[in-house]
Amino acid sequence: MVGLIGKKIGMTSIIGANGAKIACTVVLAEPNVISQVKTEEKEGYNALQISAIEVKEKHSNAPAIGHYAKAGSKPMYYSHEFRVDNAKGVLGDKVDVTIFAEGDFVDVIGKSKGKGFQGVVKRHGFNGVGPATHGQHDRARAPGSVGASSYPSKVFKGIRMAGRMGGKRIKSINSQILKVVPEQNLLVIKGALAGHNGAIVVIEK
């Protein structure tokens, strides 16, 4: 199996072998279900669709209910497709945290916290410090000039400006699994992961 869907619980720290304090993120990954098996003969490529977090039927629609019923499952909140070389999975099989072991390295996909509309100091790390005098007036956190005057008389594409920040898909590469707790369906992953507490994360081998 190539991955798992989980929910970010929060951050904590553990003490390493050398006595150092290691920041880590705790992920709750309740057993997932294989909700669809895609093959090269039928769909043109091999993949496994994994789904997690059951929802009530009244919160789902008829096509989704029928789709998950084929796997003998209740409707699920979130699904993710994992490309594989050979689709060996069996429809309806459960996948849990035991596919990982302590010391494994994984990639974790999450959605960063939305920050709303932000200025250039917060969004792009501009210095935000101008002269304290010489006519300076309410321009300490302004971006300054964003383009030329008479020529070319336009603002070039890609200029760093204020705008909406966060809410983006973030992939953390080579995060190490420090601990696996099968009894509670928990994974302890080294470092910080994108998203708020309770956010959905996808863990790939």
Domain at 99, CATH number: 2.40.30.10
Say whether both 66 and 82 belong to one domain.
yes
- 66 φ, ψ (degrees, to nearest 5): -65, -35
Would you put residue 130 in left (φ > 0), alpha (ψ -120 to 50) or beta? beta
Average pLDDT, the chain: 92
Question: What confidence score (pLDDT) does residue 27 get?
Answer: 97
Please, what is the Cα angle at 82 between 76 and 85, to 5 degrees? 145
Question: What confidence score (pLDDT) does residue 135 get?
Answer: 80
Overall number of domains in the chain: 2
Say whether both 48 and 143 belong to one domain.
no
d(CA 21, CA 4): 27
Say whether both 159 and 173 belong to one domain.
no
Note down the domain range covering 127: 118-165
Q: Is the pTM of this model over 0.75?
A: yes
Residues 6+ away with beta carbon under 8 Å from 59: 75
Say whether both 45 and 135 belong to one domain.
no
Say whether both 187 and 128 belong to one domain.
no
How does strand 116-118 pair with strand 163-165? antiparallel
Grade residue 139 by pLDDT with cuts at 50, 70 and 90: confident
d(CA 8, CA 29): 9
Greatest mean pLDDT among 13-22, 142-151, 174-183 lies in 174-183
Q: What tokens were used for 118?
A: 């932000």
Convert the pLDDT of each residue in 30-88 to its tens digit.
999 999 999 999 999 999 999 999 999 999 999 999 999 999 999 999 999 999 888 77
Grade residue 144 by pLDDT with cuts at 50, 70 and 90: confident
d(CA 24, CA 13): 5
Say whether both 143 and 86 belong to one domain.
no
